[in-house]
Amino acid sequence: FADWREAVELGPRWKDVLDRYKVAQVLLRPDRALVSALREQGWRVVTEDALAVLLERPR
């Protein structure tokens, strides 16, 4: 749970957490700060609506 929180709340190691677990996709509420951060990092929006955003890591 601590790693999940670190990533979702943009803790200092959030990128390391995603890399360590080899996260390829994330599904989050659109208001999460991680959504904006991942978009800035080049993650692709697979689909989104008012409730959720599915992002995919760039290849």
Within a domain: residue 46? yes
Encode the chain in three state secondary structure: CHHHHHHHCCCCCHHHHHHHCCCCEEEECCCCHHHHHHHHCCCEEEEECCCCEEEECCC
**Mean pLDDT, to the nearest integer, of 10-32?**
97
Report, as an integer, the average pLDDT of 12-25: 98
Phi, psi of 32 (to 5 degrees): -70, 135
Average pLDDT over residues 5-26: 97
pTM: 0.89
Considering the chain, what percentage of its residues have pLDDT values greater than 70?
A: 100
User: Is residue 52 in some structural domain?
Assistant: yes
- The number of domains in the chain is 1
Q: Mean per-residue pLDDT for 21-34?
A: 97
Would you place residue 59 in the very low, low, confident or very high pLDDT band (cuts 50, 70, 90)? confident
Q: In whole angstroms, what is the distance from residue 59 CA to residue 41 CA? A: 12
Is residue 42 in a domain? Answer: yes
Residue 54 lies in a domain: yes
Domain membership of residue 5 (yes or no) is no
- Give me the domain span that covers residue 45: 22-59
